[in-house]
Amino acid sequence: MKPRALGGIIAAVIFGILLAVAIHMDHQKRGQLGREEFLAKQAARFDRHFTKPDPIGIDIFVCVLISGAFFGAYELVAFGISKAFRSAGSNDIGS
């Protein structure tokens, strides 16, 4: 398998694990609140975000910014991993 493809796969696995850990921690935190406090926070969140939604332009700008940051981080990690595999492979060939 090419180092670039392998680096991409490993980077996707790393980011998947990080996302799963973040979701798990969020579920644990929300589970410890108790039913009444959780529902009160959800009601406040609804009042803050859904009764007066942001303009579509702001939502688009923020989503493009966030997805660009995640894509850039993914590409940087994938490049670093593939570079490490290439350098490790070239060291094996030379010895």
In this predicted model, what pLDDT tens digit does every residue of 12-36 receive, in sequence order? 999 999 999 999 999 998 889 888 9
Residue 6 CB neighbour total at 10 angstroms: 14
Determine the Cα–Cα distance for residues 35 and 43; give it in Å rounded to an integer: 12
Band of residue 46 on the pLDDT scale cut at 50, 70, 90? very high
The predicted model scores a pTM of 0.68
Q: Judge residue 11's burial from the number of C-beta atoms within 10 Å of its C-beta, 0-12 exposed, 13-18 middle, 19 or more buried.
A: buried
